[in-house]
């Protein structure tokens, strides 16, 4: 049994937002080899209040009543002026009667890990603001956490978008990503190099929609809706016309099925500040005669079909 904390900017299809973070939470619940200890929320894909409400709502839909949800950072580390309010259509419709756990996510994250050193993995599928703050307030956290598995970054290529040159989670708070990379904590990064290859098609969505459980049909409908959204709003991206990427679930799967992914040691840095290259990763694959010391393991290839079967089998059981 692998104990994990899931740190997420969960939006689950809230207007203009991706669905894969919700699927990552569902996968963390469905995998019998995972024990979900805590869900911490962070600003990113949506505002932190919406992420909190929607995490509570999704856990209720999954029939999970014993996993606390705690609210975390509302803004990136160096941009407190960017706080966003939660829309009434979210707070007025979801999580009714539910409340987050008391406290602040970085503090509770550090407290739980320090209470069980070497026993808890953090799976971070949003911006790394909470994780960086936890590392800052607890000096022993970097050695006490079992591992930090991060959905973020692009290491072997580029995003191809001048407005967002770094992968979204890193671009949203590159200063936090830099802090995590410099922390010395054991960490694996699952970036766009591999996550864009793991996709749900319309046929997969129909398979989920016809499953006998309560959650799988909801997941199938959400998948169809998100593919339709991408078709309308990203006409220049051929791969997004009839399928959608499962970025965040792949990071969850990396805990129990690391063999799905090919890993490489690397020295990784990130461009910080409000500059044109904000959030871009600088990756050294340690091929020179005198390479720098590695600070991370990065995903460089993935068995996409094996992941999809793993994902659909577990989602179909919900």
Residues noted as catalytic: 247
d(C-alpha 119, C-alpha 87), whole Å: 37
Contact criterion met (CB below 8 Å) for 92 and 49: no
Closest CA to 246 of 183, 181, 192: 192
Residue 234 Cα distances to 13, 229, 248, angstroms: 16, 8, 20
> How far is the first Cα of the chain from the last one, in angstroms, to the nearest whole number?
20
Tokens of 184: 């010395």
Contact criterion met (CB below 8 Å) for 293 and 267: yes
Residues with Cβ within 8 Å of 139's Cβ and at least 6 positions away in sequence, in order, are none
Residues with Cβ within 8 Å of 237's Cβ and at least 6 positions away in sequence, in order, are 230
């Amino acid at each position: 049994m692998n104990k994990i904390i899931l740190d997420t900017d969960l939006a689950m299809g809230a207007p203009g937002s991706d669905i894969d973070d919700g699927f990552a939470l569902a996968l963390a619940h469905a995998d019998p080899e995972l024990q979900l200890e805590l869900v911490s929320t962070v600003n990113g894909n949506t505002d932190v209040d919406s992420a909190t409400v929607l995490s509570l709502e999704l856990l209720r839909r999954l029939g999970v009543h014993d996993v606390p949800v705690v609210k975390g950072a509302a803004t990136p580390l160096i941009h407190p002026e960017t706080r966003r309010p939660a829309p009434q259509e979210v707070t007025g419709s979801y999580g009714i009667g539910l409340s987050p756990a008391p406290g602040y996510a970085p503090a509770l994250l550090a407290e739980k890990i320090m209470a069980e050193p070497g026993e808890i993995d953090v799976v971070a599928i949003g911006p790394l603001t909470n994780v960086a703050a936890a590392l800052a307030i607890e000096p022993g956290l970097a050695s006490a956490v079992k591992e930090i598995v991060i959905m973020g970054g692009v290491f072997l290529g580029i995003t191809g978008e001048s407005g967002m040159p770094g992968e979204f989670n890193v671009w949203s708070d590159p200063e936090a990503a830099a802090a995590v990379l410099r922390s010395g904590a054991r960490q694996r990064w699952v970036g766009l190099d591999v996550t864009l290859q793991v996709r749900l098609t319309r046929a997969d969505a129909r398979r989920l929609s016809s499953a006998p459980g309560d959650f799988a049909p909801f997941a199938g409908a959400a998948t169809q809706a998100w593919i339709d959204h991408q078709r309308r709003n990203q006409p220049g991206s051929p791969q997004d016309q009839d399928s959608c990427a499962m970025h965040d679930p792949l990071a969850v799967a990396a805990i129990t099925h690391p063999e799905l992914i090919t890993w490489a040691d690397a020295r990784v840095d990130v461009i910080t500040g409000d500059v044109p290259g904000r959030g871009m990763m600088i990756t050294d694959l340690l091929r020179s005669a005198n390479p720098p010391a590695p600070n991370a393991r990065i995903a460089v290839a993935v068995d996409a079909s094996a992941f999809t079967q793993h994902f659909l089998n577990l989602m179909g059981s919900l």
